[in-house]
Amino acid sequence: MATGATRGMVDVLVIFGPNLNMLGTREPEIYGADSMADIMRALSDQAADLDRRIEMMQSNEEGVLVTAIQKARGDAAAILFNLAAYTHTSVALRDALAMFDGPKVEVHLSNNDRREAFRQVSLTAAVSDGSIVGFGADSFRLGLDAAHRLLLRRDGAGAMRQIRGGDP
């Protein structure tokens, strides 16, 4: 079994930040036509294929997101997140992520570096293992794969054979 979580834990907590509940209708020329529900379904299917237990949540409220990250310290092995606008403004969310010891993967649907100057600064990137941006809904799927691989690496060299597809 690939799972990096102990009994009662999830392998990956997936966090959707503010306004992501409006995906599919909010500026589809920037964020794409996929709804948050579409992305969640795809992630659920992918997690099953990877033999990973995931939990997903969304909030428009900064404090709710901070609390979810704090709670993940005892409940999740990794965090996959898109904190949306809070990425650029929230020291509180950055600090909560810094306290989480497991793998952290930041994702964004659009390429922040091709957007407004204020969107080009991520307060959370420095406390993340990596960032995936600009691939639309695929950013989340790529992010889940990255979190899965980071957990395999953390769990030992034997697990690396699973990444490569078996023994050499």
Residue 54 CA to residue 9 CA, distance in Å, equals 9
User: What residue type is 105 in one-letter code?
Assistant: V
The CA-based dihedral angle spanning residues 162, 107, 20, 12, taken in that order and rounded to the nearest 10 degrees: 40
Q: How far apart are CA 69 and CA 128, in angstroms?
A: 13
Sign of CA dihedral 18, 20, 25, 30: positive
Active-site pick, 31, 86, 88, 148: 31
Q: What is the DSSP letter of 26?
A: S
By DSSP bridging, strand 54-58 and strand 10-16 are parallel
Does residue 31 carry a catalytic annotation?
yes
Active-site pick, 86, 88, 108, 148: 108
CA–CA dist 66, 61 (Å, integer): 9
The residue written with tokens 């395999």 in the block is 152
Looking at the annotation, which residues are catalytic?
Answer: 31, 108
